[in-house]
């Protein structure tokens, strides 16, 4: 069987590519765990069928008109949008719907890990990470910091490392600090503290312990 025959290639493009684009969009947003190739193929075909079902009305309108002859470029552009653009938009729309309060009454949150939920909000924090050996690492998580996202293993970079005082509060930034990298398997827990007004330039957030 010649898989590169024109009719078979068209079937592949029509029933696999749109669904594959939806899956890739969802995965790039960190909302889908990677699967084996066979399962991805089944999902891609299913997503392609959903794409055509959602666009059935405009497709019928175009096919029942004389667009192909009167507006050949528009006809090609329309189907290019159906196959290449719409699947990406469905992935974005589905992600936004899954995050609404109404959807979460019936469906789980699309993000599988609290790690991605917290750090995905791109907020600034003062952080104290307690390691499994009992050591504590404190620092500032702001615009120059970075956290990994699924499916990558958890890793956290704090742009400034800070010294804790005897009461467990932030005392000062370490001299010449260029940040600290913390590996997920070493972390037992992470405490988050809001960045208050006047602390954006690295001012001391507080001197007492975190619970005081």
CATH number, domain 114-194 = 2.30.30.100
State the pTM of this model.
0.61
| DSSP H helical ranges for 5-148 | 6-15, 17-28, 37-54, 56-64, 67-70, 72-80, 86-98, 101-104, 114-119
Q: What is the pLDDT of residues 17-37, one digit of tens each?
A: 888 888 887 777 666 655 666
Q: What is the pLDDT of residues 158-184, one digit of tens each?
A: 999 999 998 888 999 999 999 999 999
Mean pLDDT of the region 146-156: 87
**Structure confidence at residue 107 as a pLDDT band (50, 70, 90):** low
- DSSP letter assigned to residue 122: -
Query: Could you tell me the residue ranges of all domains in the chain?
Result: 6-104, 114-194
Q: What is the pLDDT of residues 128-147, one digit of tens each?
A: 999 999 999 999 999 899 99
């Amino acid at each position: 069987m010649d898989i590169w025959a024109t009719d078979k290639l068209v079937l592949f493009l029509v029933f696999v590519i749109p669904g594959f684009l939806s899956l890739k969009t969802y995965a790039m947003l960190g909302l889908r765990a990677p699967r084996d190739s066979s399962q991805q193929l089944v999902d891609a075909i299913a997503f392609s069928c959903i794409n055509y079902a959602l666009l059935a009305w405009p497709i019928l309108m175009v096919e029942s008109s004389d667009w192909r002859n009167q507006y050949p470029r528009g006809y090609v552009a329309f189907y290019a949008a159906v196959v290449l653009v719409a699947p990406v938009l469905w992935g974005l729309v589905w992600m936004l719907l899954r995050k609404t309060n109404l959807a979460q009454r019936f469906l789980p949150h699309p993000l599988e890990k609290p790690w991605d939920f917290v750090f995905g909000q791109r907020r600034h924090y003062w952080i104290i990470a307690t390691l499994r050996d009992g050591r504590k690492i404190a620092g500032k998580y702001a615009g120059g910091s970075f956290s990994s996202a699924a499916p990558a293993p958890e890793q956290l970079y704090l742009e400034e490392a800070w010294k804790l005082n005897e009461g467990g509060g932030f005392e000062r930034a370490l001299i010449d600090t260029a940040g600290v990298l913390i590996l997920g398997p070493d972390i037992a827990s992470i405490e988050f503290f809001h960045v208050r007004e006047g602390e954006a330039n690295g001012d001391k957030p507080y001197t007492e312990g975190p619970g005081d």
